[in-house]
Amino acid sequence: MNSRGKCLALALSAATLLYGCGGGEEVVVDSPPLVDYSKRKALVIGVDGVQYEKLQEAIAAGQAPNLARFQLAKTYGGGIVGSVTEQATSSGASWTTVLTGAWVNRHKVASNDDKLRSQADSVFKLIKDADPKRRSASIVSWNTINNNFARDINLRYISHAEKCSEDDQCVADKTSGLLRFGNFDFVFAHFDDVDNVGHAVGFTPAYQAAIQETDTRIGQLLVALERRRQEHPDEDWLIMVTPDHGRSLPGGFGHGGQTLSEKTTFIAINKEANAQLSSPFKDPADMAFDGLYGNATQADIVPTVLAHLGVKPDAASYRIDGVPLLGQPSVRQLSAKADSEARSITLQWRISGQPSGKPLTIYRGGKQIAQLDDAATFYLDQDLEIRDGIAELNYSVVLGQVPAGYLARINVDKSVQGNP
């Protein structure tokens, strides 16, 4: 029996009636519904440089009717200032985070340099590794994105790649064609016009008009999917829309810095999101930027795609910083604080709702180091055997089989203490 048939047989067996010894009573054993992940697909649409508040204005004015159909929530980019995750609110670093679920300390794309290559596993690779038959596409207006993932293209993790060289209509036409007639499990489409207009004229009526035009192009993609569904009604598409960064105030011409406006991003999603997106913490541990860190992040997009597609990377060696926005949430706001003198690292996190006794497992470097329950909110990893110098330690905190990752750094021989 092949593996697919075996799984189906096991599922059917678990749902059959069991008879008690001697009593003849029938006991029904519930089994989870069998999910055919081959019918699940995902589309992520990147809208470069769209300011969250300006999109809200466009929706209120009826200028973005397609995006108005989605659940829209504030998120943040740029990592956490002063920690190992801090990165510029620039396009190179940000789009790499969107497509890897990792911050710059993992992916190493710190600028807009065409020659940089992501060092973190991409969503394209993770999907292909889980099932070699699955296919992904990346169609971008800003060519640097595909250049940063050139290895993924060369190794065929990305089955179809297009560089549209600052032509957003090219992106809309090629992507809608792939969605309508292609056979792809994950598609990334990137639009750049709003960012270009912002750099040229800032927050002006022309900027709002660019948002409206981009919304129209997003509508073109949605129409293609609606027509596809007529022929493939069993497919289940996840759609998310996100920018790479906000813009600087007051004029909205630039970005790259660590200000509230530049760090503010958003995620629009066509599914009911869990608490990570829908219920931000109002009292995050770091209250900088008016509590922005209580929200979800752009690193949450990749784990959300993976959750929808049924892709489960190894939890013990999990190397993704974000958490899924669908289904059961993982721990939230995972962070680490290093004590160089004590050679220890303290992990901290929060959970959604009240503790219920669920197991919580902590791994370092792929090996289990602690077994707690969901009432715990921190763990002290002490007496670390680290040679003098800077060491990076990959942690995974797993709650209810859903992991969250953090790449901590400790400096054990320098004058700087408590590197976050």
Q: How sure is the predictor about 40, in pLDDT bands with cuts at 50, 70 and 90?
A: very high
Looking at residue 101, its pLDDT comes to 99
Superfamily of domain 332-411: Immunoglobulins (2.60.40.10)
pLDDT at residue 388, as a whole number: 82
pLDDT value of position 31: 54
Q: What's the whole-number average pLDDT of the chain?
A: 92
Whole-angstrom Cα distance, residue 244 to residue 156?
25
pLDDT at 15: 34
Query: In the numeric block, which tokens belong to residue 255?
Result: 């970005």
Percent of the chain surpassing pLDDT 90: 87
* pLDDT confidence of residue 135: 99
> 211-268: per-residue pLDDT in tens?
999 999 999 999 999 999 999 999 999 999 999 999 999 999 999 999 999 999 999 9
Question: How far from chain centre, in Å, is Cα 127?
Answer: 13
| Alpha-carbon gap, residue 220 to 400, rounded angstroms | 39
Mean pLDDT of 364-372: 98
Residue-wise pLDDT for 295-352, tens only, equals: 999 999 999 999 999 999 999 999 999 999 999 889 999 999 999 999 999 999 999 9
Structure tokens at 374: 């969901």
pLDDT computed for residue 35 by the predictor:
86
pLDDT in tens, 173-215: 999 999 999 999 999 999 999 999 999 999 999 999 999 999 9
**H helices within 155-259, ranges in order?**
168-181, 193-201, 205-231
* Confidence check: pLDDT of 16 > 50: no
Domain boundaries in the chain? 1-34, 37-309, 332-411
Q: How far is CA 227 from the centre of its chain?
A: 27
Q: Is the pTM of this model over 0.95?
A: no
Q: Does domain 37-309 have CATH number 3.40.720.10?
A: yes
Of 406, 396, 352, 407, nearest in space to 374 by CA: 352
Interval 61-70 mean pLDDT: 99
Question: Which residue spans within 197-324 are E strands per DSSP?
Answer: 236-242, 264-269, 296-297
Q: What is the mean pLDDT of residues 118-127?
A: 99
pLDDT at 22: 40
Q: Quick one: pLDDT at residue 96?
A: 99
Average pLDDT over residues 382-404: 93
- Res 73 pLDDT > 70: yes
